[in-house]
Structure 1
Amino acid sequence: MNFSNKNRKQNIDRLKSDTFDVLVIGGGITGAGIALDAAMRGMKTALIDMQDFAAGTSSRSTKLVHGGLRYLKQFEVKMVAEVGKERAIVYENGPHVTTPEWMLLPLHEGGTFGKFTTSAALRVYDFLAGVKRSERRSMLTVSETLQKEPLVKTEGLKGGGYYVEYRTDDARLTLEVMKKAVEKGALCLNYVKADQFRYENGRVAGIEAVDQIDGSRFAISAKKVVNASGPWVDSVRKKDGGENGKQLRLTKGVHIVIDESVFPLHQAVYFDTPDKRMVFAIPRDGKTYVGTTDTFYTKDPIRPDVTAEDRAYLLEAIRFMFPTVDVKESDIESSWSGVRPLIYEQGKDPSDISRKDEIWESETGLLTIAGGKLTGYRKMAEMIVDLVAKRLKEEVGILYSPSETKNLPMSGGEVGGSAKFPSFIKVKTADGIEKGFSEDEARFLAKMYGSNVDNLFAHKNTTSTLPDVLYAQLMYAIEEEMAYTPADFFIRRTGALLFDIQTVRKYKDECTNLLAEQFGWTETEKEAHIRELEEEIAACS
């Protein structure tokens, strides 16, 4: 699989010369899911993104494949049922990017959730989401709650709910789905912008594209075009002559990362804030991250800002629920901010706007999908590709099969399902040791890359002064994950900028030099990519 920007010219030549059954605009999790579903049905499929894959919302979430417990409060029963079931499918198809995470819901006097309503809600949640017996909820006494997480506020504590969510690496999940789509025949390319639409007889027949790397313009022909551009959905619709009907409303979510030495959380917690919202605190790899905020956002969604107010809000939330934790602004190691593209509902607060997805079809035949949640990406993709298949049958008489993604492991997911993943890691750790990696390094790579890990073991470092694991990750990202810039690598291929910022600061120059060498950058290009990474470091520090 040559999923590399080293083959950029050949890929662009294919985009220019072929006529695709479907062209997807947007390389986040929804677009990746659509490309995979369409390719699996035998559609000639292309996908483009004006930035890197997952650079928008799909690398800036709370990093949970969660069932949406709080949507029960809004009586969105159908969505909870669907998303809950999808959560289990994502886990089975990609256990290397999805991990069960027990979640503690502390119950306090006057809190958002009461003891009786929580017990009932979690029972309904288990039923709707088809939660397996071993992961069904339990209700905890005060002492059991404090045993799970001693840092929780004791004043007014009435007990707790205990249930399972799934933690993920959102950007890597997107990449693994994308890589499977490419394996199944889709052509996916980052840094290609859909500049304007092309029409035949008043119908969308493709786009005029701009290569964001060299500035060249070219046409892409497609029978159907799907707009899955997340926060940019309305601006793409505008190029097609309108945004009639419902529109997007962007809301911003901010997360902060604190070292476990300052905030030694043992257990993921879903908790009340002073203003009666709900926030997650999650331990991960020696850090604790907390989020999210929920405020309307009207500025450029490319790099949403993290304001002093955002940070202060989350620090106050920590102090409110974990009063013995002494957190200060200076304890924040890194942060990230993303926007949620939600369907606008007049008069509603950001937290109350529905997370439902919707499809629009314009008079010119452009299909748009917006809203929805990370967890429901596969079902959203199935729904819109069903519509693409229906329109292609009507317009050109081609009949396509139903969706085949429900039991399809994503790239890296060929490990025999979640039950066999621990034994897979054991075997691959031994293989990695044989290749010269330490036991910890081999285990780390096997857990992160799943059945693709042999491709990383093949990149054993013999010349670079980079650490062995970082070198293997960088070479694999270049050769097989379409990484092009240091920001691509440190943010979306590894997550290091968010959870290990010291490594980024220490090795950014060597990694940039290796990328420059691999892609033959000029000094000007290299400086531009260094500048971009420095801006990203500054934005999240």
Structure 2
Amino acid sequence: MKRNLSELTGKEYDLVIIGGGIFGACAAWDAVLRGFSVALVERGDFSSGTSANSFKIVHGGIRYIQHGDIMRIRESCRERSALLRVAPHLVQPLPTVIPTYGHGKNGKFLLAAGLLGYDLLTSDRNLHIKDPDRRIPRGRLLSRGEVVELFPGLERNGLTGAAMFSDGQMYNPTRLVLSFLLSSAAAGAEIANYVEAINFIRSKGRVTGIEAQDKLTGEQFQIRGKVVLNATGPWAEHLLNKQLGFKLERKGTYSRDACFVIPRQLDSRHALAVLGRTRDPDALLSRNARHLFIVPWRDYSLIGVWHVVYDGNPDGFAVTEQELKAFVEEINAAYPALDLSVEEISMWNAGLLPFGENQDNATNLSYGKRSLIVDHARQHQVEGLVTLLGVRYTMARGEAAKAIDLVARKLNRRVPRPATAKIPIYGGRIEHFEAFVQQVTQRSEAPLPIKALRALLHNHGSEYDRILRYGEENSAWVETIADSTVIKAEVLQAVREEMALKLSDIIFRRTDLATGEYPGNEALQTCAQLMAAELGWTAKHQHQEIEEVKRIFPIFGQVVREDSSAQVGVAI
């Protein structure tokens, strides 16, 4: 990916996409494979908003069993399978255990019926997935002894066993977005970060492009397009209203979904579902409360998800210290053995997602149902503009395909959908991931710790040798940074080939350095020096970049800090 803003002004594109999160990235990939000329711009860095703050779960739709929503079950399963196929380095199955107490609707036999129904409805879930380690197994019941062995800290009074199912888990959500973007750029899409759409260009009742501004220099310019796709997530309605005065027929309700990270794991590599304090009002049949999840992820545990209806500006939300304390209290009540304190939280993630319709101050919240694709020719009598509001990260590929179907009709281009559910994206040309790791480990001449090499293979997959080749230029560049699993060459690759322009791009989104906790001052200094040599930064600029990253991490015992561009909160 090369950031060349002069290229963006030189022609009229078939499609201009606003938004570089997972939905925009998947739309660009789908459109460019159909032969469309595509430009994509993102006002911040790619995947710096909601997409970066995912709970890392690729949902297969099992929760929709209790809603009786067969269509959503099938759609979710299809999209989970697609990601397991096209990005085997970044997505893998995650076994999840739901303990059961007593009998009836809280017992394991009702859950067994649900698992059986789900397995029957998703019997094709492993179609064309060659790697046995990437296949989703059937659900099964665990005995009381089996579940206690997995989770010795569970309350045993009344424990009857557990139900176990598998979903998908992302190794790194930002790298998954980047993989779609890198694939799109390689296929011909022209992409730029830190470019904001500040207005729409209109002519004779249609949108014909956007007025854009380079956020780094302030320069303004136009990008012409036959169709514009607004894929800006929770910012979509604000953009439409501010620049065009448009309001959607049904105003969106958004949930600030939050989870947090702790730098330790439970005894098991299985996720654990525990009962929280709220119910699902849409469920036809449900247990006593919604589930909260404690999920192993790399060397950490993810805990969530908590939902709060948010009605303000998307740039303004945060997770407060009071809320974190309430979250900790709720999870400790649900699973006392965790014995968690607020001080132990190393990071929180939060993003805004479309939610269901809820009354003010409702406790039991209705989740969002499906993504929304708006044809503004039908709703506002303005041609050339489409809005895509996605509900779940998992659904981005399929929902983007539907949006590009509409774009194709507007372009009067009868082209079949590309096989994006089967075509590997950047790094995904791997049939069996663990065999691939073994082969690379055996033949690699780079003096890397096994853990660092495995992390490299997760993040870059079959393209890992692009990174190791930097060692031919300077052998020191294949050394790890501080105590991390990240090597210096990943920073160089991010600058030269992945459009990293700021230190925060490297620390939070191109590498693993700050995806779980503060990486340390040495790591920041090393990355800043590497970027300075590539980009010609002065010592003053290096210092500014380091201080900007540090501001995202609170110090001196503070618990919460909000950064509107990265939307990441961290506790040190």
TM over 0.5: yes
- Report whether the alignment pairs 1:308 with 2:321: yes
Give 1:446's aligned residue.
Answer: 457
The alignment partner of 1:410 has SS state of coil
After TM superposition, the structure 1 stretch with the greater mean CA deviation from structure 2, 487-496 or 196-205, is 487-496
Matched residues, number: 524
Q: What are the Cα deviations for residues 216-243 of structure 1, in whole angstroms up to 9, with x where unaligned?
A: 0000000000011011010122122211
Distance 1:504 1:250 in 2: 34
Give 1:391's aligned residue.
Answer: 410
Structure with bigger helix share is: 1
Q: How do residues 162-201 of structure 1 correspond to structure 2 at under 5 angstroms? A: 162-168=164-170, 169-201=172-204
The alignment partner of 1:146 has SS state of helix
Deviation at 1:252, TM superposition (A): 1.1
* Residues 522 and 76 of structure 1, relative CA distance in 2, 3 Å threshold: farther
* Residues 425 and 463 of structure 1, relative CA distance in 2, 3 Å threshold: closer
Give 1:421's aligned residue.
Answer: 433
Distance 2:276 2:512 in 1: 27
After TM superposition, the structure 1 stretch with the greater mean CA deviation from structure 2, 338-347 or 80-89, is 338-347
Q: How do residues 281-300 of structure 1 correspond to structure 2 at under 5 angstroms? A: 281-300=294-313
Contact 2:257–2:306, Cα closer than 8 Å, also in 1: yes
Contact 1:356–1:372, Cα closer than 8 Å, also in 2: yes
Give 2:419's aligned residue.
Answer: 404
Percent identity (aligned) = 28
Distance 1:112 1:509 in 2: 55
Contact 1:247–1:344, Cα closer than 8 Å, also in 2: no
The alignment partner of 1:498 has SS state of coil
Q: How do residues 460-539 of structure 1 correspond to structure 2 at under 5 angstroms? A: 460=471, 462-463=475-476, 467=480, 469-501=486-518, 503-522=519-538, 525-538=541-554, 539=561
Q: How do residues 115-134 of structure 1 correspond to structure 2 at under 5 angstroms? A: 115-130=108-123, 131-132=125-126
Q: How do residues 99-110 of structure 1 correspond to structure 2 at under 5 angstroms? A: 99-109=92-102
- Report whether the alignment pairs 1:321 with 2:334: yes
Give 1:161's aligned residue.
Answer: 163
Amino acid at match of 2:116: R
- Pick the aligned partner of 2:39 from 46, 58, 72: 46
Distance 2:136 2:13 in 1: 45
Q: How do residues 11-50 of structure 1 correspond to structure 2 at under 5 angstroms? A: 11-50=4-43
Contact 2:355–2:366, Cα closer than 8 Å, also in 1: no
Question: Cα RMSD over matched residues?
Answer: 2.3
Contact 1:251–1:295, Cα closer than 8 Å, also in 2: yes
Give 1:360's aligned residue.
Answer: 374
After TM superposition, the structure 1 stretch with the greater mean CA deviation from structure 2, 17-26 or 60-69, is 60-69
* Residues 317 and 495 of structure 1, relative CA distance in 2, 3 Å threshold: farther
Distance 1:465 1:447 in 2: 16
Distance 1:454 1:113 in 2: 51
Contact 1:67–1:87, Cα closer than 8 Å, also in 2: yes
After TM superposition, the structure 1 stretch with the greater mean CA deviation from structure 2, 515-524 or 320-329, is 515-524
* Residues 301 and 359 of structure 1, relative CA distance in 2, 3 Å threshold: same
* Residues 387 and 251 of structure 1, relative CA distance in 2, 3 Å threshold: same
Contact 1:255–1:337, Cα closer than 8 Å, also in 2: yes
Amino acid at match of 2:164: Y
Q: How do residues 128-277 of structure 1 correspond to structure 2 at under 5 angstroms? A: 128-130=121-123, 131-132=125-126, 135-168=137-170, 169-238=172-241, 239-260=243-264, 263-275=266-278, 276-277=289-290
Distance 1:380 1:150 in 2: 41
Amino acid at match of 2:262: I
The alignment partner of 1:408 has SS state of coil
Contact 2:478–2:487, Cα closer than 8 Å, also in 1: no
The alignment partner of 2:303 has SS state of strand
Deviation at 1:295, TM superposition (A): 0.5
* Residues 481 and 454 of structure 1, relative CA distance in 2, 3 Å threshold: same
The alignment partner of 2:272 has SS state of strand
Contact 2:390–2:399, Cα closer than 8 Å, also in 1: no
Alignment gaps of 5+ in structure 1: none
Distance 1:496 1:401 in 2: 40
Distance 1:290 1:319 in 2: 11
* Residues 320 and 421 of structure 1, relative CA distance in 2, 3 Å threshold: same
Amino acid at match of 2:321: A
Distance 1:45 1:534 in 2: 36
- Pick the aligned partner of 1:435 from 438, 441, 446: 446
Distance 2:337 2:517 in 1: 25
Deviation at 1:44, TM superposition (A): 0.2
Contact 1:153–1:321, Cα closer than 8 Å, also in 2: no
Distance 1:354 1:43 in 2: 31
Deviation at 1:74, TM superposition (A): 3.0
* Residues 44 and 318 of structure 1, relative CA distance in 2, 3 Å threshold: same
Contact 2:357–2:366, Cα closer than 8 Å, also in 1: no
* Residues 303 and 287 of structure 1, relative CA distance in 2, 3 Å threshold: farther
What TM-score results when the alignment is normalised by the length of structure 2?
A: 0.86
Q: What are the Cα deviations for residues 236-268 of structure 1, in whole angstroms up to 9, with x where unaligned?
A: 22122211301222211222222327x555421
Distance 1:251 1:191 in 2: 26
Distance 1:25 1:226 in 2: 6
The alignment partner of 2:306 has SS state of coil
Amino acid at match of 1:451: S
* Residues 244 and 324 of structure 1, relative CA distance in 2, 3 Å threshold: closer
The alignment partner of 1:135 has SS state of coil
Q: What are the Cα deviations for residues 337-369 of structure 1, in whole angstroms up to 9, with x where unaligned?
A: 222133656677674132311111112121001
Deviation at 1:523, TM superposition (A): 5.6
Contact 1:22–1:45, Cα closer than 8 Å, also in 2: yes
After TM superposition, the structure 1 stretch with the greater mean CA deviation from structure 2, 156-165 or 311-320, is 311-320
Give 1:369's aligned residue.
Answer: 388
Deviation at 1:372, TM superposition (A): 2.4
* Residues 323 and 371 of structure 1, relative CA distance in 2, 3 Å threshold: same
Q: What are the Cα deviations for residues 12-49 of structure 1, in whole angstroms up to 9, with x where unaligned?
A: 11101121000111111010000000000000011111
Contact 1:343–1:371, Cα closer than 8 Å, also in 2: no
Contact 2:477–2:489, Cα closer than 8 Å, also in 1: no
Amino acid at match of 1:447: H
Deviation at 1:77, TM superposition (A): 2.3
Distance 1:280 1:134 in 2: 19
Deviation at 1:479, TM superposition (A): 1.8
After TM superposition, the structure 1 stretch with the greater mean CA deviation from structure 2, 327-336 or 367-376, is 327-336
Amino acid at match of 1:97: L
Q: What are the Cα deviations for residues 126-163 of structure 1, in whole angstroms up to 9, with x where unaligned?
A: 22233448600001222222122222222332221111
After TM superposition, the structure 1 stretch with the greater mean CA deviation from structure 2, 492-501 or 82-91, is 492-501
Amino acid at match of 2:388: I
- Report whether the alignment pairs 1:75 with 2:68: yes
Contact 2:258–2:351, Cα closer than 8 Å, also in 1: yes
- Pick the aligned partner of 1:340 from 346, 349, 353: 353
Deviation at 1:518, TM superposition (A): 1.7
- Pick the aligned partner of 2:467 from 424, 445, 456: 456
